[in-house]
Amino acid sequence: LRKRLWGSVVFLLTLLYFSMGAGMFGFPLPPFLDGNPVALGLVQLLLSGIILVINQSFFIRGFRGLWHRSPNMDTLIAMGAAASFLYSTVMLFMMTAAVQNGQQDYARHLQHEFYFESAGMILTLITVGKTLEARAKGRTTNALKSLMNLAPKTATLLQDGQEITVPVDAVKKGDIFIVRAGEAIPVDGIVQVGEGAVDESALTGESMPIDKKVGDTVTSATINRSGYLQCEAVRVGQDTTLSEIIALVNEAAATKAPVAQLADRISLIFVPAVMAIALLSVIIWLLCGAPFGTALARGICVLVVSCPCALGLATPVAIMVGNGVGAKNGILFKTARALQETGQADMVVLDKTGTITHGQPVVTDIFPAEGITETDLLQTAASLEYKSEHPLAKAIVAYAEQQSVAILPTQDFVTCTGSGVRAKLGAEAIIGGSLAFLQQQPIDCPSVTVAQAAALAKEGKSPVLFAKAGKMLGLIAAADTIKEDSATAIHALQNMGLPVIMLTGDNAGTAAVIGQQAGVDAVLSEVRPEEKGAVIQQLSEKGHVIMVGDGINDAPALTGAAIGMA
């Protein structure tokens, strides 16, 4: 397609030079063409003919649709280009005859009836549009590849007490597979043995790992951050959640744009109408006594003027200008459809994680217990969490490093899956985890600390409590906070008359807090990836929806919305 485009452009520029260069701009012509209108016409005939041959696919599809009584936009393009070319060819033969008969004035008049450049320009500009469309489809293919790359290539199965590694495609329903800390889950399954903290952020948008125990479901392509899981495969191959998401993206990408469907419906009426008018024109001219050649020329003129010049010229120019303005403002439109639909948008849907928020938890609050300094609490907490892969642990360690707090070495580090961690700092045992976890330990939890933890949880934060040698040290809370400019941007959209909705897979409590801080009009929480596309379709029934997201979990919603921004 790229070669076709460049070939068309080269021959079109040459054609425009010979057809308009001398007459309109005074460009010099080669000596053998200067003053020889027939030779100049033959050169235009040859150049435009080459462009027609290069873009023959338009004629094949267009006239095939006409033959099967289902004309489309290619039919309009083919008819317009063919009519321009045929009419110009007829005028060239008439001009040749006029020159031979010494009718120089009539020959010069006929020279202005050439439309060879119109045929070439129509086909070239449409090819530009097709090339841009192909590039956009290529980006969609890359997005699908990134989805597919989420899934692990192999799985560890437990057969007859032995662990074997097999390709993920070989996993069958009912097989028992093993997932250790740091490994990706190969297929959808149910936990049979063990506990783990599974990171589902790539699929659901949930910022924190989800605790999994016996009887819980696990999803393909999610990551087991800690613990050991032994699961039974229940959905494999094309039935996994990830495969369904990929299928949803494929289906949405293959759906025809509304404007294209409208154009095809118009073509069904427009093309036959143009042909009928052209035929009627020929008949009327014949009835009025005009020669057959004149009547035929008038009929072809009808086809020429009916050619979709606006489609071929005005639309690409508008797209190029719109793309240029968007690029200056940091917005890149992949397709003309996206540019058109953006101007008609009347609703904005925002993903939470990574769009409204930063996408990673950060420390928000530190409450040391009575008699404990903030530095002592932070040092003990960071030393304990240093060996953990949990996002909250990483947030605490990062904050300690920012505060230049020394991290001390620990021994006998153990992860208590889904609850907390424990280790030894010197000769003293240290422990950290959720309120429920610490209340199960032989530790006195002051009522003040319990109340603080409950209040922070209501604010959508995640409190982590710490103790040393059986004594409560205090708590540190972390949360995925909103970006500095999120509230301002949302307020600006609302001032434009656009309602803003937050759509997320995160839990209702956290989502409500973030939604209130950001100032959105509505919050839709706990929506799974495969459900996001359906939610967008429901909202689309009320108007044109802009969906803004940045995660793989947003792919069905991004492709299903009138405009997807990532």
The verdict on whether 506 is a catalytic residue reads no
Strands (E), 252-369: 347-351, 362-368
Structure tokens given for 191 = 């936990």
Helices (H), 347-480: 374-385, 391-402, 435-439, 447-458
Rg (CA), the chain: 34
Task: Tell me which DSSP letter residue 489 carries.
Answer: H
Of 163, 168, 203, 166, give the one whose Cα is nearest residue 187: 168
DSSP string, 87-149: HHHHHHHHHHHHHHTT-HHHHHHHHTT--HHHHHHHHHHHHHHHHHHHHHHHHHHHHHHHHHT
Pairing of strands 462-468, 428-433: antiparallel
Pairing of strands 471-479, 362-368: antiparallel
Phi, psi of 226 (to 5 degrees): -155, 155
Structure tokens given for 275 = 């042909």
Taking residue 230's Cβ as centre, other Cβ atoms within 10 Å add up to 17
Q: Who contacts 287 (Cβ-Cβ below 8 Å, separation ≥6)?
A: none
Of 479, 471, 481, 423, give the one whose Cα is nearest residue 449: 471
Q: 351, 480, 506, 554: which is the annotated catalytic residue?
A: 351
Phi, psi of 32 (to 5 degrees): -75, -10
Q: d(Cα 462, Cα 504) in Å, to the nearest integer? A: 18
Phi, psi of 204 (to 5 degrees): -105, -20
Q: Who contacts 225 (Cβ-Cβ below 8 Å, separation ≥6)?
A: 181, 182, 196, 197, 198, 199, 209, 389, 390
- Taking CB atoms within 8 Å and a gap of at least 24, the contacts of 319-325 are 319/129, 319/132
Q: d(Cα 136, Cα 117) in Å, to the nearest integer? A: 29
Residue indicated by tokens 């404007």: 259
One-letter amino acid identity for 138? G
Q: Is 167 exposed, middle or buried (0-12, 13-18, 19+ CB in 10 A)?
A: exposed
Q: d(Cα 200, Cα 188) in Å, to the nearest integer? A: 12
3-state class of 540 per DSSP? Answer: helix
* Catalytic residue set: 351
